[in-house]
Amino acid sequence: MKLAGLKSVDGAHEESIWAAAWAPAADHRPTALLLTGALDETVRAWRPDDLAAASPPARGHALGVLSLAAHPAGVIAAAVSLDSYIRVFDVDSGASVATLDAPPSEVWGVQFHPKGVALAAAGGGSGSVKLWDTEKWQPIASLPVPRPEGARPDKTGSGKFVLSVAWSPDGKLLACGSMDGTIAVYDAVRMKFLHHLEGHHMPVRSMVFSPVDPHVLFTGCDDSHIHIYDAKEKGLIGAMSGHASWVLSIDVSPDGMAVATGSSDRTVRLWDINARASVQTMSNHSDQVWAVAFRPPGGEGVRAGRLASASDDKSISLYDYS
Amino acid sequence: MASVYIPVQGTEEEVRVALDHLPQDASDILDILKAEQAPLHLWLIIAREYFKQGKIEQFRQILEEGSGPEIDEYYAEVKYERIAILNALGAFHTFFGKAERAPQKEAHFKEATQYYNRASRIDETEPSTWIGKGQLCVAKGELQMASDSFKIVLDEDGDNFPALLGQASVYFLMGDVEQQHKKALECYRNSLDLYKRALRAYTDCPPAVRLGIAFCRYKLGQLDRARQAFERVLQLDPENVDALVALAIMDLQTNEASGIRRGMEKMGRAFEIYPYCTLALNHLANHYFFTGQHFVVEQLTETALSSSNHGLLKSQSYYNLARSYHSKGDIETAGRYYMASVKEINKPQDFVLPFVGLGQIHLKFGDYKRSLASFEKVLEVHPENCESLKAIGNIYTNLGENDKAIETFKKVTRIDPKDHQAFVELGELLVESDWAAAMEYLKTARSLLKKASEKIPVELLNGIGLLYFEKAEFELAEQSFKEALGDGIWVSMMDGSVGRSMVSWSVQYRDQTFFHQLEEQMLVELPCDKVTTLFNYARLLEELQDTVKASLLYRLIIFKYPDYIDAYLRLAAIAKGKNNIQLSIELIGDALKINSKYPNALSMLGSLELQSDENWLTAKERFRDAKDATGGKDPYSLLQLGNWNYFAANRPEKKASKFEATHREKAKELFLNVLKQNQSNMFAANGIGILHAEKAQWDIAKELFTQVHEAASGSIFVQVPDVWINLAHIYFAQGLFQQAVKTYQNCLRKFFYNTDATILLYLARTHYEAEQWQECRNSLLRAIHLAPSNYLLRFNVGVSMQKFSASTLQKTKRTADEVRATVSELENAIRVFSLLSVASTYHSHGFDERKIETHVEYCKHLLDAAKVHRDAAEQAEQQTKQRLEVTRQIALADEARRRAEEQRKFQLERRKQEDELKQVMQQEQHFERVKEQWKHSSNSAGKRKDRSKHDDEDGESGKRRRKGGKRRKDQKTKMQYEEEEEDQYRNEPEEDDYATMTVGDRSGKAPDHLLAAAGLEDSDAEDETGHPQSAIERKRRSAWSESDDDEPARRPAEPSPRADDPSE
Among the partner residues B496, B546, B790, nearest to A242 by beta-carbon distance: B546
Q: Does B497 touch chain A (CB under 8 A)?
A: no
Residues β-bridged to residue A195: A185
B891 is a domain residue: yes
Q: How many CA atoms lie within 13 A of B480 on its CB side?
A: 25
Instruction: Say yes or no for a CB contact (<8 Å) between A39 and B778.
Output: yes
Q: Hey, what amino acid is at B900? A: A
Do β-strands A43-46 and A65-70 pair in parallel, antiparallel, or remain unpaired?
unpaired
Q: How far is A162 from chain B (nearest CA, A)?
A: 9
Minimal-distance CA residue of chain B relative to A62: B828
Q: How far is A298 from chain B (nearest CA, A)?
A: 33
Contact, A22 vs A295, CB < 8 A?
yes
Q: Does A224 touch chain B (CB under 8 A)?
A: yes
Q: Does B812 touch chain A (CB under 8 A)?
A: no
Residue A238 has pLDDT above 50, yes or no: yes
Instruction: Say yes or no for a CB contact (<8 Å) between B503 and A236.
Output: yes
Return residues 131-160 of A near B (CB < 8 Å). Answer: 156-159
Query: Rounded to whole angstroms, how far apart are CA atoms B718 and B682?
Result: 9
Instruction: Say yes or no for a CB contact (<8 Å) between A239 and B828.
Output: no
Instruction: Say yes or no for a CB contact (<8 Å) between A235 and B504.
Output: yes
Q: Does A201 touch chain B (CB under 8 A)?
A: yes
Q: Does A264 touch chain B (CB under 8 A)?
A: yes
Q: How far is B579 from chain A (nearest CA, A)?
A: 5
Q: Tens digit of pLDDT for each residue in B463-491?
A: 888 888 888 888 888 888 888 888 887 78
Question: H/E/C letters for each residue in B1038-1054?
Answer: HHHHHHHHHHHHHHHHC
Task: Return the SS3 of B887.
Answer: helix
Residues β-bridged to residue B501: none
Instruction: Say yes or no for a CB contact (<8 Å) between A62 and B839.
Output: no
Among the partner residues A202, A239, A312, nearest to B503 by beta-carbon distance: A239
Instruction: Say yes or no for a CB contact (<8 Å) between B785 and A84.
Output: no
Is omega for the bond preceding B989 within 30 degrees of 0, making it cis? no
Exposure class string for B505-527: b at 16+ Cβ within 10 A, else e = bbbbbeebebbeebeeeeebebe
Q: Does B719 touch chain A (CB under 8 A)?
A: no
In the CATH scheme, what is the code of domain A3-321? 2.130.10.10
Closest CA to B584 of B592, B575, B593: B575
pLDDT for B421 equals 81
Among the partner residues A18, A157, A242, nearest to B785 by beta-carbon distance: A18
Among the partner residues A124, A242, A244, nearest to B788 by beta-carbon distance: A124
Q: Domain ranges in chain A?
A: 3-321
Residues of A in contact with B781 (CB under 8 A): 39, 63-64, 82
Instruction: Say yes or no for a CB contact (<8 Å) between A239 and B838.
Output: no
Number of alpha helices (DSSP H) and beta strands (DSSP E) in chain B = 49, 2
Residue A29 CB-density burial (10 A; 0-12 exposed, 13-18 middle, 19+ buried): middle
Minimal-distance CA residue of chain A relative to B496: A275
Instruction: Say yes or no for a CB contact (<8 Å) between B835 and A103.
Output: yes
Instruction: Say yes or no for a CB contact (<8 Å) between B579 and A264.
Output: no
Q: Does B507 touch chain A (CB under 8 A)?
A: yes
Q: Does A18 touch chain B (CB under 8 A)?
A: yes
Residues of B in contact with A84 (CB under 8 A): 831, 835
B848 is a domain residue: yes
Helix (H) or strand (E) holding B15: strand B14-18
Closest CA to B526 of B465, B485, B477: B485
Listed in sequence order, the residues at least 6 apart from B777 whose beta carbon sits closer than 8 Å to its beta carbon are: B764, B797, B800, B801, B804, B825
Q: How far is B827 from chain A (nearest CA, A)?
A: 10
Among the partner residues B754, B835, B839, nearest to A312 by beta-carbon distance: B754
B189 is a domain residue: no
Helices (H), B55-142: 56-66, 69-74, 79-99, 104-122, 127-140
The DSSP code for B1056 is: P
Instruction: Say yes or no for a CB contact (<8 Å) between A264 and B577.
Output: no
Residue A290 has pLDDT above 80, yes or no: yes
Instruction: Say yes or no for a CB contact (<8 Å) between A103 and B788.
Output: no
B-interface mutation test, from A40, A63, A272, most B Cβ less than 10 A away: A63
B866 is a domain residue: yes
Among the partner residues B788, B790, B835, nearest to A163 by beta-carbon distance: B788
Q: Does B820 touch chain A (CB under 8 A)?
A: no
pLDDT for B1048 equals 36
Return residues 92-131 of A near B (CB < 8 Å). Answer: 103-106, 108, 124-126
pLDDT for A302 equals 60
Phi, psi of B731 (to 5 degrees): -55, -45
Residue B1050 CB-density burial (10 A; 0-12 exposed, 13-18 middle, 19+ buried): exposed
Q: Does B508 touch chain A (CB under 8 A)?
A: no
Helices (H), B292-330: 294-306, 311-328
Task: Report the number of distinct structural domains present in chain B.
Answer: 1
pLDDT for B931 equals 61
Residues of A in contact with B581 (CB under 8 A): 201
Listed in sequence order, the residues at least 6 apart from B623 whose beta carbon sits closer than 8 Å to its beta carbon are: B602, B603, B606, B637, B640, B641, B644
Residues of B in contact with A15 (CB under 8 A): 778
Among the partner residues A62, A106, A222, nearest to B828 by beta-carbon distance: A62
**Residue numbers in chain B where pLDDT is lower than 50:** 504-506, 938-1064
Residue B414 CB-density burial (10 A; 0-12 exposed, 13-18 middle, 19+ buried): exposed
Minimal-distance CA residue of chain A relative to B507: A199
Closest CA to B305 of B288, B287, B330, B322: B322
pLDDT for B978 equals 38
Question: H/E/C letters for each residue in chain A?
Answer: CCEEEEEEECCCCCCCEEEEEEECCECCECCCEEEEEECCCCEEEECCCCCCECCCCECCCCCCEEEEEECCCCCEEEEEECCCCEEEEECCCCCEEEEECECCECCCCEEECCCCCEEEEECECCCEEEEEECCCCCEEEEEECCCCCCCCCCCCCCCCCEEEEEECCCCCEEEEEECCCCEEEEECCCCEEEEEECCCCCCEEEEEECCCCCCEEEEEECCCEEEEEECCCCEEEEEEECCCCCEEEEEECCCCCEEEEEECCCCEEEEECCCCEEEEEECCCCCCEEEEEECCCCCCCCCCEEEEEEECCCCEEEEEEC
Instruction: Say yes or no for a CB contact (<8 Å) between B507 and A239.
Output: yes
Q: Tens digit of pLDDT for each residue in B162-193?
A: 788 888 888 888 877 777 778 888 888 888 88
Return residues 766-795 of B near A (CB < 8 Å). Answer: 778, 781-782, 784-785, 788-791
Residue A199, sorted as left (phi over 0), alpha (psi -120 to 50) or beta, turns out to be left
Helix (H) or strand (E) holding B3: strand B3-7
Residues β-bridged to residue A240: A226
Question: H/E/C letters for each residue in B591-634?
Answer: HHHHCCCCHHHHHHHHHHHHHHCCCHHHHHHHHHHHHHHCCCCC
Q: How far is A124 from chain B (nearest CA, A)?
A: 8
Residues of B in contact with A105 (CB under 8 A): 839
Domain span at B803: 789-910+978-1004
Q: Does B503 touch chain A (CB under 8 A)?
A: yes
Closest CA to A29 of A67, A78, A75: A75
Listed in sequence order, the residues at least 6 apart from B600 whose beta carbon sits closer than 8 Å to its beta carbon are: B565, B566, B569, B626, B1043
Helix (H) or strand (E) holding B896: helix B849-936
Minimal-distance CA residue of chain B relative to A60: B824
Minimal-distance CA residue of chain B relative to A275: B496
Residue B564 CB-density burial (10 A; 0-12 exposed, 13-18 middle, 19+ buried): buried
pLDDT for B1059 equals 34
Listed in sequence order, the residues at least 6 apart from B738 whose beta carbon sits closer than 8 Å to its beta carbon are: B770
How far is the CA of A138 from the CAs of A141, B473, B931, B1019, in angstroms? 9, 58, 110, 38
Q: Hey, what amino acid is at B97? A: G
Among the partner residues B549, B753, B843, nearest to A157 by beta-carbon distance: B843
Helix (H) or strand (E) holding B17: strand B14-18
How far is the CA of B804 from the CAs of B768, B808, B859, B925, B991, in angstroms? 9, 6, 11, 87, 20
pLDDT for B560 equals 86
B988 is a domain residue: yes
Instruction: Say yes or no for a CB contact (<8 Å) between A266 and B824.
Output: no
